Structure 1
Amino acid sequence: MNPKIILIDGNSILNRGFYALSGRSMLTTSTGLYTNAVFAFVNILNKYIEEENPDYIAVAFDLRAKTFRHGLYEGYKAQRKGMPDELAMQIPLAKEVLRAMNIAIIEHEGYEADDIIGSLSLKAEKENFDVIILTGDRDSFQLISDRVKVILPSTKAGKTETNVYDKQAIIDKYGVLPHQLIDVKGLMGDSSDNIPGVPGVGEKTALSLISAYGTLEGVYEHIDEIKQPKLKASLIEYKDQAFLSRKLGTIVRNLELCASLEDLKRKEINRKELLNVFRKLEFESIISKMNLASAEVTELPPAPEELKITHISAAEDLKKWIAYLLNQKNISVLQLIDREDSYSSRLSGLALCTGDEVFYIETGTALPENLIATELKELWQNENIHKIGHNIKEFITWLLKHDVELNGLYFDTMIAEYLIDSIRNGYPIASLSHKYLNRSVPSLDELLGKGKGAKKYSEIPPERLKDYSAYNVKAIFDIWPMQKKVLQENRQEELFNDIELPLITVLASMEYHGFKVDAAKLHEYGEVLLSRIKDLEKVIYMLAGEEFNINSTKQLGTILFEKLKLPVVKSTKTGYSTDVEVLEELYYKHDIIPCIIEYRQLTKLYTTYAEGLEKVINPVTGKIHSSFNQTVTATGRISSTEPNLQNIPVRHEMGREIRKAFIPSSENAVFVDADYSQIELRVLAHITGDEALINAFVKGEDIHTATASLVFDVAPEDVTPELRRKAKAVNFGIVYGISDYGLARDLGITRKEAKRYIDDYFAKYPKVKTYVDEIVRVGQEQGYVETLFHRRRYLPELASKNFHQRSFGKRVAMNTPIQGTAADIIKIAMVKVYKALKESGLKSRLILQVHDELVIETFEDELETVKELVKKCMEEAVELSVPLVVDVSIGKNWYEAS
């Protein structure tokens, strides 16, 4: 692997952070020190260090003095306002952070950060480095090459998103090579830097000219070929200005800098110094995320200079170590598993660490994978030996394939980190190793690659697998005690030990056992869909007066807005919008619209489910083995992928029909479907303590009717279906932090009416209003909100200067404790149901969870027992101030049961 360097434009990133984040809670410390730019800067810095894992790193800064460009052109950047004092005072703070992180800071008198980065990137290229430039300035695009890429972080809904530009991206976007962008700037200028360019030449013209003639010189060599008189005259008149503009816009690449590449080598952070800096800045959330508090009391485990690895590749060698392994208290495990689905998995290698010893067990003809499972069965099933893993669910499903259960599950570093930071984008071991140990270990991306070109473990040479797994399994062993301390500090030990950790085994069982699908029934369903789709096509063509590609937005837009003369609702950069909101607004304007909406629904059902599900039925089991993910959603909800069984339609009757294809795995089996009734509203009643809400639930009243009666001031018996519908929208809207605009759209009423409904709701349920205001205030002060079980969600959006982002943050602050607590309760119920079924010796199994619903496959002789058991486990999962109610139904397929 080539060495990797990240070069950061410090001023640019700080400037971006300053304008992206503001607000009372994050803007200043308690002593009045402005910190919003530094806060954003540190988060962006940490994000890309974790994701890219560079070997070298440096941050370049501008000096406040004038540069050589001001000498060339007096008007350079003349129109720019001075840097706000609130931002200027944060630059020294950012440098203080960088010094504590042992990251090189480079400045050069008379030159800008771009010039420093340009010079360093060229030097690094010549040494065969892979170069990443992190900046908010598109000027750096000219530096892109086969070895250099530019990352422009952008902030959407309070989250940092990555926009990566390499050489091909520039060609695709601009139609020229990266180095030609300086010639483009010579022609078009740059208003942000007051670079004049040629008057009358914009980006489109400049790109066209450089694309045709290659360089600025080429344009003037072919000036007579330019046909537009005004353009030609302007080019001739302002020729000198064009060349001056190019010079002003060209990044210098030959600076003699005080630092060599070796000086930029990544070093361990000074944890105590960084902790002191962050304490001064009051960055408690970052201290928690980086686990810096432990620097006050704990020395880090020493990084192994050279790991002693015992390589086992034969059954006889494995047997020699069994007695030693059975005598250990803690063992970390790292599995190297290739899998088609949760049932079809193949082990390529297994690493174990006992602290001092690291073992790499290589599978092969001399040691097939089934022997690893069975020879070490006593180890796996010994509950007194603590097993510590990372995504250990994958290992448990593999063991189940070999009829072995894992006992003694003690810790999972991926799950722990998810609880510590639920909005993080992924939890790779290499990233956690840097965060907790300041130690570099081989990353999974380095081992397997990314995207379509990614390899399987079985395609990697054994020596590389050994080194990767050995250093990573050692990191897991050293990381978990530090994470455990953070969980204790966050009051999340019970959440981890009693909910998330036992849930791993439950989800592994669900994945392994799968959900049986009647392939013939699914195929038949697809044929019905296709027939209906073809009928709709004919009707649409008839109503349109011609045949066209209904799936083409452009062609559909032409039919609707040009031929049929329907009113244009909104447009995009490429033409008319025909999205679902547009079609719903046009619903009653023409008979073709309902047909198009149904056509889209049915084609999606066909491709995603009828056709899509057929491809993922396991040929051996005849089942779909979905993956259930614990670390994806910020609210704590479980998600389902490959395929997403939680997304099987329920509202659209034709969509619900798919559920008929999901059947029990044996003829004498049935499904028990158990669904929490209005769990989020019950949680809302409990958390807010609102007496009116609590009384409605305690009395067993229909909550939507009760709300309609209160809000619309009518007797319960006089509540019409329409009033109940409106009350239901308000009830759930409040839970999700809905605005008057959103409620108006949902109910088809004016914003004034919607606001009145919301105000009336809060008047009747005053403690809900108090909760809404209080939880937003708490989120702003703490930087996060929590569920009843201390599941934490950080809310950088609340500090955003952008109104829409801040509004999103408020909605999330209101909703997270409600939805997150409901998610915690369903997880507790799943653990209880799984344990009760197992301890009762029943053959019945929990096979699916869809938000508030559990599906259990049971047998007719166990049916009544299971119904009672499941209902009891779910309704007694936790004790709230209102009863939890579970609706139970039975069916021979999922459709009947639900």
Structure 2
Amino acid sequence: MEKLVLIDGHSILNRAFYGVPGLTNSEGLHTNAVYGFLNILFKLLEEEKPGYLAVAFDLKAPTFRHTMYDAYKGTRKPMPEELHEQVPLMKEVLTAMGIPIFTREGYEADDILGTVAKKAQAAGMEVTVVSGDRDLLQLSDAHIKISIPKTSRGTTEVHTYYPEDVKREYQVTPEQFIDVKALMGDTSDNIPGVPSIGEKTATNLILQFGSVNGVYEHLSEVKPPRAKKSLEEHRDLAELSYKLAKICIDAPVEFSPEDARIGDLYTKEAYEYMSRLEFKSLLARFGDHVKKEAAAALDFHAVTDLAVAEALFQKAMGSERTGAVLLAEGPEISGAALCLDGQNAYLIQKEGFLTGEYLAEKMTELYRTGHVWTLGLKSQLPFLDLGYGDTVYDAAVAAYLLNPLKDTYDYDDLARDHLGLTAPSRADLLKKLTYAEAMDQEPEAFLSFAGFLGHCAYQSGGILMEKLEAEGMKDLYLEIELPLIYALYHMEEEGIAVKREELSAYGEKLKQQITVLEQEIWDMTGSQFNINSPKQLGEVLFEKMGLKGGKKTKTGYSTAADVLEKLAPDYPVVQKILDYRTYAKLNSTYAEGLGNFIGPDGRIHSRFNQTITATGRISSTEPNLQNIPIRMELGRAIRKVFVPRDGFVFLDADYSQIELRVLAHMSGDSRLIEAYRSAQDIHAITASQVFHIPLDQVTPLKRRNAKAVNFGIVYGISAFGLSEDLSISRKEALEYINQYFETYPGVKTFLDGLVADAREKGFVSTMFGRRRPVPELGSANFMQRSFGERVAMNSPIQGTAADIIKIAMIRVDRRLREEGLESRLILQVHDELLVETAVREKAQVERILSEEMSRAAALKVPLEIDMHDGKNWFEAK
């Protein structure tokens, strides 16, 4: 028999909305319900293998059930806004996939499903009805199966029901299920039911008397007396509830099986939706179709002849704009992608006379013309002879500036976001193959990959530059972000030396301390247990020891850091546990982890990422050298293993309170500006002014509290957050914040203005024009909106500080090279620059650091630098 799957659109979308953690794409569009729905859909298709498929939705127009219910109740519970906005989006996606949508004015989706299911059964089809609504169980029949998906934490299980399954689980037949619902009611389905009658009583009554009518025919026999009395008084509700619960199976819905026959679901239009919504795990399903569609629209050519390659390079040199990418991974060049017009793209393969050296030389020459757009310039620089005087436009960096909320800026992202083109991703084409493997095993796929790379770099160039100029970020791109690529590459190339034997010794110290702490914790708790097991730890602390403040979860007591940190001041054993975790993390991440990254040259070459953070900050990975601990003495000691080469010392220069200085400048608050101009201790002067005490009477505690307020204001801290940080009441924290804003009214005006501006424009900007979208401010969710307000307040400050340190990096790195010094910038950690400095050049490097960092931006307050030197990073910091 042919099989039809019918889906209850609103019900499954609702289930998915609550079952999948909140997702948004980089446009700020809520996507979790659509994502969950599609996962359920694909799971059903794989398991059911139907030939026919349709989805039914309610219409906004009131149905007869709405009218009956509203006459009784007045209003229905509104749909959450984040879900409401996904309903039309879901319909658009289904339409793009060619899946028919059934609606009928005056009828709910249940009625459409019931009618179509019965018609399909009568036509000899097997039917599966998919809904999260148990009301649909009444439709269960010999050839109609009801499937109810249950989604939790992204995982979906489907429970299926034929009549015997309904009988087994609910004790009644599918037809009697209506009567049970009529008596017990269902608030989630807006069925009032009869007061005082629950599911157990309703089921027993229907089993005894067969139906609601049977119950009323034998009302004198009903027990218990309370149920009898309620039934007598509320017969109108029982009858109304029956009408609300009963699904119409003869609605005026036309159905022909051919209307629901499954065609090609993986269309280009559907792929574009998946790309826009950033459902990367689903994109692979569309790969083959998209490859054919996209490749058919463009001409890609493989070049293996030297004369042809020479002619192409010569033509590229004279072009107004060229798309070019040197295809290199690891130590090996595989080829070069070129595009000189909107139709043709070329893969110049490394073959014969077309050696890696030849390609590197020709690409260097081409890049120096100043009209090349590429993708991933930093990864190509190891093979090219380029420097600060060479302007090469990186399209990925431009796309990042235009939307810093995305997580990737590959050629397929550019195609979708800026060219209106659907392009298969690298994973679609090459799977997990390297360039060299792909050239050998999948030459056609590699040609397509190279062709799309070159084409998207070429086509997006002019568009991206126009958008940057329109949004006021052209100078930011040209003067900061493009030169930064060279500074980051130079730091990666230099790396930082690590003494492996000292790293091992540091690890042994940590292990000893871990062992000591472990024994102390066991002694204090009176039992030996696995401290790394949250379940065992929770049982020991909150059950055996009876500590107050435990939070019970489904899997046991929460032992998360925030829970333990609240308990630590009152329970010494909890502080020991927090210390144990810290040392264990230090050992695994640094003592053991760093050793894996030491190269043959004895140095760690971390990767510095330019397009990761939304604020513009640089991040470090493989390994993360920006997260070296500084709070604990033993944590800071890890810096001792980082050393300069022989004849060199480390010079470490750190901006002093740069974000507070940026706040003073951008807010224009006269009192804050004066405090910095007069070189006063900003935390002490804030304490004096906020707490209304003479400066010479500010205690260390008052200064610490003022410092927490100063930095908390920068990060949009709430009274709750400040109370947690300072271990004071929320009321007291609120008074601190209010007193701060009374002291610095310009700051309050500035921060409020940022939030208001972000609500109006949808973004905030740094001093240098960097934009940070704030879609969270439009959320109906209070927590999301509150987060958006903090982002709006913090991003311009943190982003401006990030811009300033980038400018300083570029200028310091450039001067070290231009002045012919051996000293090299090797590390940037937020507001800190580390230079491996030749001893004989120390005075000159100090001057360069001081001049370039202090002059990186013209603020209303001075940019002050703290500078130290040392024989290792610990000493220099």
Residue 233 of structure 1: how far off its partner (Å): 6.6
Residue 721 of structure 1: how far off its partner (Å): 1.1
Which residue in 2 is equivalent to 1:734?
713
TM-score normalised by length of structure 2? 0.74
Given that 1:186 and 1:246 are in contact with CA atoms closer than 8 Å, whether structure 2 keeps it comes out as: no
Q: Does 1:477 align with 2:464?
A: no
Q: Does 1:673 align with 2:652?
A: yes
Given that 2:497 and 2:643 are in contact with CA atoms closer than 8 Å, whether structure 1 keeps it comes out as: yes
Distance (Å, rounded) in 2 between the aligned partners of 1:471 and 1:586: 56
Q: Does 1:659 align with 2:646?
A: no
Q: Does 1:353 align with 2:339?
A: yes
Would the alpha carbon gap of residues 580 and 43 (structure 1) be closer, same or farther in structure 2, given more than 3 Å must change?
closer
Residue 545 of structure 1: how far off its partner (Å): 2.3
Given that 2:324 and 2:454 are in contact with CA atoms closer than 8 Å, whether structure 1 keeps it comes out as: yes
Which residue in 2 is equivalent to 1:812?
791
Which residue in 2 is equivalent to 1:531?
512
Alignment deviations for residues 306-354 of structure 1 (CA, whole Å, 9 cap, x no partner): 533332346676455443333334222235444xxxxx45444431212
Which residue in 2 is equivalent to 1:219?
none
**From 364, 380, 384, the counterpart of 1:395:** 380
Q: Does 1:63 align with 2:59?
A: yes
Given that 1:362 and 1:462 are in contact with CA atoms closer than 8 Å, whether structure 2 keeps it comes out as: no
Distance (Å, rounded) in 1 between the aligned partners of 2:133 and 2:460: 37
**From 612, 615, 638, the counterpart of 2:618:** 638
Which residue in 2 is equivalent to 1:207?
none
For 1:632, what is the secondary structure of its paired residue? coil
Distance (Å, rounded) in 1 between the aligned partners of 2:244 and 2:269: 43
For 2:325, what is the secondary structure of its paired residue? strand
Q: Does 1:518 align with 2:518?
A: no
Which residue in 2 is equivalent to 1:411?
393
Residue 365 of structure 1: how far off its partner (Å): 7.4
Between 865-874 and 111-120, the greater mean CA deviation after superposition: 111-120
Residue 413 of structure 1: how far off its partner (Å): 2.0
Given that 1:709 and 1:719 are in contact with CA atoms closer than 8 Å, whether structure 2 keeps it comes out as: yes
Which residue in 2 is equivalent to 1:443?
425
Which residue in 1 is equivalent to 2:232?
none
**From 718, 726, 750, the counterpart of 1:747:** 726
TM-score normalised by length of structure 1? 0.73
Distance (Å, rounded) in 1 between the aligned partners of 2:412 and 2:178: 44
| Correspondence list, 1:157-306, <5 A | 165=154, 169-171=155-157, 187=170, 256=257, 258=259, 305-306=296-297
Matched to 2:752, the amino acid is D
Would the alpha carbon gap of residues 426 and 14 (structure 1) be closer, same or farther in structure 2, given more than 3 Å must change?
farther
Q: Does 1:422 align with 2:418?
A: no
- Gaps of at least 5 residues in structure 2 are 1-6, 43-52, 117-129, 137-146, 187-199, 213-242, 278-292
Alignment deviations for residues 652-709 of structure 1 (CA, whole Å, 9 cap, x no partner): 1111111111122x20112111110000000110111111100111111111111111
Residue 735 of structure 1: how far off its partner (Å): 0.7
Which residue in 2 is equivalent to 1:709?
688
Give the number of equivalent residue pairs.
759
Q: Does 1:626 align with 2:606?
A: yes
| Correspondence list, 1:786-797, <5 A | 786-797=765-776
Given that 1:335 and 1:347 are in contact with CA atoms closer than 8 Å, whether structure 2 keeps it comes out as: yes
Would the alpha carbon gap of residues 761 and 311 (structure 1) be closer, same or farther in structure 2, given more than 3 Å must change?
same
Residue 371 of structure 1: how far off its partner (Å): 4.1
**From 553, 563, 566, the counterpart of 1:585:** 566
Distance (Å, rounded) in 2 between the aligned partners of 1:428 and 1:600: 38
Residue 239 of structure 1: how far off its partner (Å): 9.7
Which residue in 2 is equivalent to 1:553?
534
Given that 2:816 and 2:823 are in contact with CA atoms closer than 8 Å, whether structure 1 keeps it comes out as: yes
Distance (Å, rounded) in 1 between the aligned partners of 2:859 and 2:540: 56
Between 507-516 and 357-366, the greater mean CA deviation after superposition: 357-366
Distance (Å, rounded) in 2 between the aligned partners of 1:93 and 1:760: 46
Given that 2:323 and 2:374 are in contact with CA atoms closer than 8 Å, whether structure 1 keeps it comes out as: yes
Matched to 1:334, the amino acid is V
Matched to 1:391, the amino acid is G
Given that 2:653 and 2:868 are in contact with CA atoms closer than 8 Å, whether structure 1 keeps it comes out as: yes
Matched to 1:705, the amino acid is A
Given that 2:54 and 2:101 are in contact with CA atoms closer than 8 Å, whether structure 1 keeps it comes out as: yes
Residue 718 of structure 1: how far off its partner (Å): 1.9
Given that 1:442 and 1:472 are in contact with CA atoms closer than 8 Å, whether structure 2 keeps it comes out as: no
Which residue in 1 is equivalent to 2:662?
683
Which residue in 2 is equivalent to 1:30?
none
Given that 1:63 and 1:107 are in contact with CA atoms closer than 8 Å, whether structure 2 keeps it comes out as: no
Given that 1:685 and 1:694 are in contact with CA atoms closer than 8 Å, whether structure 2 keeps it comes out as: yes
Q: Does 1:774 align with 2:753?
A: yes
Given that 2:651 and 2:837 are in contact with CA atoms closer than 8 Å, whether structure 1 keeps it comes out as: yes
Q: Does 1:434 align with 2:416?
A: yes
Alignment deviations for residues 426-484 of structure 1 (CA, whole Å, 9 cap, x no partner): 323223212322222111231344xxxx4433443222111122023202211221122
Q: Does 1:379 align with 2:366?
A: yes
Residue 611 of structure 1: how far off its partner (Å): 0.7
Matched to 1:637, the amino acid is R
Residue 541 of structure 1: how far off its partner (Å): 1.9
Residue 404 of structure 1: how far off its partner (Å): 5.9
Residue 249 of structure 1: how far off its partner (Å): 13
**From 486, 498, 503, the counterpart of 1:505:** 486
Residue 43 of structure 1: how far off its partner (Å): 7.4
Distance (Å, rounded) in 2 between the aligned partners of 1:247 and 1:624: 70
Residue 561 of structure 1: how far off its partner (Å): 2.1
Which residue in 2 is equivalent to 1:307?
298
Matched to 1:824, the amino acid is D
For 1:772, what is the secondary structure of its paired residue? helix
Alignment deviations for residues 553-612 of structure 1 (CA, whole Å, 9 cap, x no partner): 111122222222222432222211222233223324444223212111100000011111
Q: Specify the structure having the higher radius of gyration (Cα).
A: 2
Distance (Å, rounded) in 2 between the aligned partners of 1:729 and 1:11: 48
For 2:623, what is the secondary structure of its paired residue? coil
Given that 1:186 and 1:249 are in contact with CA atoms closer than 8 Å, whether structure 2 keeps it comes out as: no
Would the alpha carbon gap of residues 741 and 367 (structure 1) be closer, same or farther in structure 2, given more than 3 Å must change?
same
Which residue in 2 is equivalent to 1:647?
627
Given that 1:890 and 1:897 are in contact with CA atoms closer than 8 Å, whether structure 2 keeps it comes out as: yes
Distance (Å, rounded) in 1 between the aligned partners of 2:327 and 2:171: 54
Which residue in 2 is equivalent to 1:109?
104
Q: Does 1:892 align with 2:862?
A: no
Which residue in 2 is equivalent to 1:872?
851
Matched to 2:637, the amino acid is E
Alignment deviations for residues 384-432 of structure 1 (CA, whole Å, 9 cap, x no partner): 2422122222222x326xx665964332222112211122343232232
Given that 1:115 and 1:253 are in contact with CA atoms closer than 8 Å, whether structure 2 keeps it comes out as: no
Given that 2:326 and 2:333 are in contact with CA atoms closer than 8 Å, whether structure 1 keeps it comes out as: yes
Distance (Å, rounded) in 2 between the aligned partners of 1:478 and 1:658: 48
Would the alpha carbon gap of residues 859 and 201 (structure 1) be closer, same or farther in structure 2, given more than 3 Å must change?
farther
Given that 1:697 and 1:883 are in contact with CA atoms closer than 8 Å, whether structure 2 keeps it comes out as: yes
Residue 246 of structure 1: how far off its partner (Å): 13
Distance (Å, rounded) in 1 between the aligned partners of 2:8 and 2:613: 30
Distance (Å, rounded) in 1 between the aligned partners of 2:14 and 2:736: 43
Given that 2:11 and 2:133 are in contact with CA atoms closer than 8 Å, whether structure 1 keeps it comes out as: no
Residue 65 of structure 1: how far off its partner (Å): 6.6
Would the alpha carbon gap of residues 847 and 593 (structure 1) be closer, same or farther in structure 2, given more than 3 Å must change?
same
Which residue in 2 is equivalent to 1:213?
none
Distance (Å, rounded) in 2 between the aligned partners of 1:794 and 1:743: 26
Residue 550 of structure 1: how far off its partner (Å): 0.8
